[in-house]
């Protein structure tokens, strides 16, 4: 009964707190951005005793902002992601999902995300330091490898994660494996597969699945490229299209990527590539 009464009181107070914040920021709201860029400490002082409630409010704003930009904005801008997330975790430093999803939102390449991998890694470190969560430290290591391509640093972070209370037993093995197999596309696949298998259905699992598909597209591209080289050696000419390749004709190699977009082939250069218009396209990475 007491819990129900508390929920009713909190529900009534949230609009009051938000009106107080909005009224205080009123003169600065010439643009949408002005509403959000105030520090978490300032918002905290405006809502004493209700920091967790306001953290939920600002996290909802963060998700709405990101979703709106990603789904509906013609010219996507993610300028407010970092300040919104920082307000959230300042209000509630133990808000693990805000660190987790906030890092994904920040690190994902544009236009799927803000293309600020360094900021995403820094947010995960901040969260791991604040909460002591081995899972956030583990993700910090994953992101350091996959987005920043620093295998040595990633290995050090994963080793740190393995020493935290409750950490998975396999982290030490993965930390060592990261060093010995640095630059291996298969390692990146193992990391994303691990994230996929450990996550419940939702944003995190969908993100891991998407990255696994991108890696598959790179594998397909390489296999097609090798098939072009073999064809040229055997026929002394380049194929006119990918469909002329024997392994394509027999169905052993695809001509479309996991997103359903055809791979591009330039007969002049003989090069195969993932189409830039495809969601599977990614900036060329030396280690992938």
pLDDT at 287: 46
Spatial contact of 100 and 107, defined as CB atoms under 8 Å apart: no
Q: What is the 3-state secondary structure (H, E, C) of the chain?
A: CHHHHHHHHHHHHHHHHHHHHHHHCHHHCCCHHHHCCCCHHHHHHHCCCCHHHHHHHHHHHHHHHHHHHHHHCCCCCCCCHHHHHHHHHHHCCCCHHHHHHHHHHHHCCCCCCCCCHHHHHHHHHHHHHHHCCHHHHHHHHHHHHHCCCCHHHHHHHHHHHHCCCCCCCCHHHHHHHHHHCCCCHHHHHHHHHHHHHHCCCCHHHHHHHHHHHHHHHHHHHHHHHHHHHHHHHHHCCCCCCHHHCHHHHCCCCCCECCCCCECEEECCCCEEECCCCCCCCCCCCCCC
Give backbone dihedrals phi and psi of 95, rounded to 5 degrees, phi first.
-80, 80
CA dihedral sign, ordered 202, 204, 210, 216: negative
Gap between the Cα atoms of 89 and 99, Å rounded: 8
pTM of the model: 0.64
Give backbone dihedrals phi and psi of 262, rounded to 5 degrees, phi first.
-60, 140
Gap between the Cα atoms of 120 and 285, Å rounded: 19
Exposure of 2 in the CB half-sphere (CA atoms within 13 A): 0
Gap between the Cα atoms of 117 and 146, Å rounded: 10
pLDDT at 254: 96
Q: What are residue 266's DSSP bridge partners?
A: 271
pLDDT at 192: 82
Gap between the Cα atoms of 141 and 173, Å rounded: 13
CA dihedral sign, ordered 211, 216, 222, 224: negative
Residues 6+ apart with CB under 8 A from 234: none
pLDDT at 34: 41
Structure tokens at 250: 């027999």
CB count, 10 Å around CB of 233? 8
- Digitized pLDDT (tens) for each residue of the chain, 288 residues in all: 544 454 454 445 555 555 554 454 443 343 354 444 466 666 666 666 678 888 898 899 999 989 888 888 888 889 889 999 999 999 999 999 999 999 999 999 888 899 999 999 999 999 999 999 999 999 999 999 989 989 889 989 998 999 999 998 888 878 877 776 665 677 778 878 887 888 788 888 888 899 899 889 999 999 999 999 999 999 999 999 999 999 999 999 999 999 999 999 999 999 999 999 999 997 654 444
Spatial contact of 174 and 158, defined as CB atoms under 8 Å apart: yes
pLDDT at 46: 64
């Amino acid at each position: 009964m007491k819990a129900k009464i508390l929920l009713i009181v909190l529900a009534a107070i949230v609009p009051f707190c938000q009106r107080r914040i909005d009224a205080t920021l009123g003169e600065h709201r010439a643009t949408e951005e002005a509403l959000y860029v105030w520090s978490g400490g300032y918002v905290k002082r405006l809502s004493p005793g209700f920091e967790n409630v306001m953290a939920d409010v600002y996290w909802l704003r963060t998700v709405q902002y990101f979703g709106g930009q990603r789904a509906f904005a013609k010219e996507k801008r993610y300028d407010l992601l970092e300040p919104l997330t920082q307000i959230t975790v300042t209000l509630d430093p133990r808000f693990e999902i805000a660190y987790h999803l906030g890092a994904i939102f920040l690190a994902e390449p544009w236009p799927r995300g803000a293309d600020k991998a360094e900021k995403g890694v820094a947010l995960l470190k901040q969260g791991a330091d604040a909460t002591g969560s081995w899972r956030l430290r583990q993700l910090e290591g994953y992101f350091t490898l996959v987005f920043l391509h620093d295998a040595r640093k990633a290995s050090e972070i994963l080793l740190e994660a393995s020493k935290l209370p409750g950490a998975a037993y396999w982290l030490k093995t993965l930390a060592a494996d990261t060093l010995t197999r640095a630059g291996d596309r298969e390692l990146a696949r193992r990391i994303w597969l691990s994230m996929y298998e450990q996550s419940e259905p939702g944003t995190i699992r969908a993100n891991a699945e998407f990255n696994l598909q991108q890696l598959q597209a790179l594998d397909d591209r390489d296999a097609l490229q090798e098939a072009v080289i073999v064809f040229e050696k055997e026929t002394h000419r380049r194929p006119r299209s990918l469909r002329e390749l024997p392994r394509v004709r027999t169905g052993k190699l695809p001509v479309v990527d996991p997103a359903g977009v055809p791979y591009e082939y330039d007969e002049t250069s003989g090069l195969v590539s993932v189409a830039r218009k495809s969601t599977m396209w990614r900036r060329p990475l030396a280690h992938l």
